[in-house]
Structure 1
């Protein structure tokens, strides 16, 4: 069935919306409470009108049609006329889509190669951490990635701080301690990142690219791929055994 989207929908016009992408395994949505919490925080921070969260939950779980699949849940601020300012009475629209689950087994077992991205993320603390619908930076990053031999890119913000991969969060190990970027200026605070931080002692840091020279191990993660080790960063090999041991602590 083809969805009908109004040409006045603010997500369509301005990227004025939020979304989350969820993995279905054995017929259930993994980490659903964390996905819901993230949507609720983002809607509140962006000043959306009241949302019927019970309806959102019903639509998300009602979209499960297979033992394994991907469900994307998008919430727009709603329909309004021309202009950036939201109109009075603008009510949120909810969209749900499904797609096949990608196979990440090769990346999970063999690891990936990262190189540093040329494009840097804009610094905007008011939007930092949110998975809002304006993803043009990520579109440009994927275009940049396509012109390289790397599997993914490590992205800095405009102040030079390590932020994330093109569509995943980043964790780095030094001397046995795991760290992750604080994401106070840019980037997306992913659900898998939150799950990991609730399960294991992780320190949030503001590191520049210079810190990469002393990193022993590294992985990227999101709600679909899980934990994927980095076997090579630029021209340097990294240890994968520490990532394998770490993964056993946080399997969901």
Structure 2
């Protein structure tokens, strides 16, 4: 293994690669088992053996390391961006995004301090995209993103039914209830966790019924509902 420009590179010939994004929060790896299980399911489907995850914390650069104790000692960090509703500095300032590219072996591991995007508008985009597995090649999603116009992000529909944004699953609130589209493009690890915990429910949500809901929350390995990266359904552009 060799290190280059802050990335740990494993010198294997490039093939069709898969991607895993893992959150390190306050010095602790989040949902490691869920990510390893998805890697194993992916490998089983494509006919290879999934590599094991290395000791990620030992690879993490010193300047990115921060513990819960350090946060308590300093009283937490300031909010990363003004205007991000409900995002506390203590959660977001201590988040590190770990990106793992793999096939039969791990190809690349990289880390970066995570700063969430501020999303205030979504553009509905219809597509027949198949993204059942988390591919390292995101060109098909990036092509769709070109259709966002002046909006911050896209909300992808398939046969008129809500699926995902280009980088997250979504949860829609109605009163005290939370629903997630029953047929997402990618069954994300955070989505699976929230379903197991009974916090959200699956539901077929057609684009024509969006106004029956209050807000849309973006969730993925780096974002939980409590991070409140959300917007009113009125800010979804048809």
TM over 0.5, shorter chain: yes
Q: Render the CA deviation track for 1:57-89: whole Å, top value 9, x for unaligned.
A: 22544423323522111212xxxxxxxxxxxxx
**Does 2:141 correspond to 1:134?**
no
Q: Which residue of 2 aligns with 1:71?
A: 98
Does structure 2 retain, via aligned residues, the 8 Å contact 1:63–1:96?
A: no
Does structure 1 retain, via aligned residues, the 8 Å contact 2:22–2:97?
A: yes
Deviation at 1:205, TM superposition (A): 2.1
Deviation at 1:102, TM superposition (A): 2.4
CA distance in 2 between partners of 1:162 and 1:134 (Å): 23
Q: Which runs of 5+ in 1 are unaligned?
A: 12-16, 77-91, 237-252
The alignment's TM-score, normalised by the length of structure 1, stands at: 0.68
Q: How does 1:98-177 map to 2 (within 5 A)?
A: 98-104=110-116, 107=118, 112-122=119-129, 124=130, 128=132, 130-145=133-148, 147-148=149-150, 150-157=151-158, 159-177=159-177
For these two proteins, the number of residue pairs brought into alignment is: 197
Q: Render the CA deviation track for 1:92-129: whole Å, top value 9, x for unaligned.
A: 1212322322223x84xxxx32323335242x4xx52x
CA distance in 2 between partners of 1:234 and 1:25 (Å): 32
CA distance in 2 between partners of 1:161 and 1:192 (Å): 21
The alignment's TM-score, normalised by the length of structure 2, stands at: 0.71
**In 2 relative to 1, CA 117–63 (structure 1 residues): closer, same or farther, beyond 3 Å?**
farther
Residue 113 of structure 1: SS of its match in structure 2? coil
Does structure 1 retain, via aligned residues, the 8 Å contact 2:127–2:156?
A: yes
Q: Which runs of 5+ in 2 are unaligned?
A: 67-94
Q: Which residue of 2 aligns with 1:46?
A: 46
Residue 113 of structure 2: SS of its match in structure 1? coil
Aligned mate of 1:210, from 183, 188, 208: 208
**Does 2:15 correspond to 1:10?**
yes
Does structure 1 retain, via aligned residues, the 8 Å contact 2:97–2:113?
A: yes
CA distance in 2 between partners of 1:63 and 1:143 (Å): 35
